[in-house]
């Protein structure tokens, strides 16, 4: 996936857009490109173009889901068949930001659980929207903060990285706090339970320096890997095990 500069973004000036932005690339195990979705450095909101794609997930049957709309982009999710044929889109194009159901504002990541349900980090609206495999809305959850990155493990445990809540933002009428009353960190919930209420919260580990966690990964031992944007680093959170259980 190559984000590029979305419409209205300073990175979308002609000189900055030269490259491979606005595409989703499929690679084989040798790192060779075997399929391209989108057109290099050209943004759009039709069936053949993206505008700031930010996340991608592949279903067991090969269908491809893309969250398309980082920082003023298309504010939509798009589904393709395994061969890249356009199937459907949910949301709108540039300027379509909305708090309405099945609409988006800066959809920043997309993941899928074992039942084929699709989870979208609708970051600008401080919520997660959940869809079925046909793009029909199932749930809207506002208890995961302002999610930028999602991860779902093999046990259907959901991890949501929030790197923006509580951050002082510059703008009229005065400086304001993003998602007031919430903290940056990782929120964890069980998708096998009703509404997947948050069961654990891991606060950002040190002082607040700009945008925090935006990318998440979890290994088979439960250790969490968080990509922090402002500090340009990867932080590992180690699963705590009581001393009496270590070595077992």
**Per-residue pLDDT tens listing for the chain (248 residues):** 666 665 555 455 544 555 678 999 999 999 999 999 999 989 899 999 999 999 999 999 999 999 998 877 899 999 999 999 999 999 988 888 999 999 999 999 999 999 999 999 999 999 999 999 999 999 999 999 999 999 999 999 999 999 988 877 666 545 556 788 899 999 999 999 989 999 999 998 776 667 889 999 999 999 999 999 888 889 999 987 655 544 44
The answer to whether 70 and 52 have CB atoms below 8 angstroms apart is: yes
Q: How many other C-beta atoms can be found within 10 angstroms of the C-beta atom of residue 49?
A: 17
CA distances from 16 to 36, 42, 48, 66 (A): 21, 11, 21, 23
pLDDT in the model for residue 236: 94
pLDDT in the model for residue 14: 47
- What CATH architecture applies to the domain 45-245? 6 Propeller (2.120)
The answer to whether 3 and 54 have CB atoms below 8 angstroms apart is: yes
The answer to whether 222 and 239 have CB atoms below 8 angstroms apart is: yes
Domain boundaries in the chain?
45-245
Q: pTM of the full predicted structure?
A: 0.89
CB neighbour burial string for 215-233, b if at least 16 within 10 angstroms, e if fewer? bbbbeeeeebebbbeeeee
In the numeric block, the tokens 């090969």 are attached to 62
Q: Report long-range pairs for 126-135 (Cβ below 8 Å, ≥24 apart).
A: 126/165, 126/179, 126/182, 128/160, 129/101, 129/102, 129/104, 131/77, 131/90, 131/102, 133/59, 133/63, 134/88, 135/77, 135/79, 135/88, 135/89, 135/90
DSSP 135-150: S-EEEEE-TT-S-SEE
pLDDT single digits (tens) 176-209 = 567 888 999 999 999 999 899 999 999 987 766 6
SS3 for 67? strand
CA atoms within 13 A on the CB side of 142: 7
pLDDT in the model for residue 140: 98
């Amino acid at each position: 996936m190559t984000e590029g500069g979305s419409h209205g973004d300073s990175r979308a000036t002609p000189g900055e857009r030269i490259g491979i932005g606005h595409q989703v690339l499929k690679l084989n195990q040798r790192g060779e490109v075997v399929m391209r979705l989108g057109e290099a450095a050209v943004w759009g909101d039709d069936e053949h173009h993206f505008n700031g794609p930010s996340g991608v997930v592949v279903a067991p049957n090969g269908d491809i889901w893309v969250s398309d709309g980082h920082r003023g982009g298309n504010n939509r999710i798009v589904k393709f068949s395994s061969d890249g044929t356009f199937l459907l889109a949910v949301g709108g194009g540039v300027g379509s930001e909305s708090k309405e159901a099945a609409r988006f504002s800066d959809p920043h990541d997309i993941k899928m659980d074992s039942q084929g349900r699709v989870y979208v980090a609708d970051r600008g609206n401080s919520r997660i929207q959940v869809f079925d495999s046909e793009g029909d809305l199932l749930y809207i959850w506002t208890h995961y903060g302002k999610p930028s990155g999602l991860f779902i493990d093999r046990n259907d445990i959901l991890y949501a990285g929030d790197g923006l809540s509580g951050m002082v933002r510059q703008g009229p009428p005065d400086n304001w706090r993003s998602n007031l009353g919430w903290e940056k960190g990782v929120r964890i919930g069980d998708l096998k339970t009703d509404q997947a209420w948050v069961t654990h919260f891991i606060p950002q580990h040190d002082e607040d320096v700009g945008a925090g966690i935006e990318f998440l990964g979890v290994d088979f031992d439960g250790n969490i890997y968080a990509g922090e944007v402002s500090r340009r680093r990867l932080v590992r959170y180690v699963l705590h095990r009581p001393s009496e259980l270590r070595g077992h």
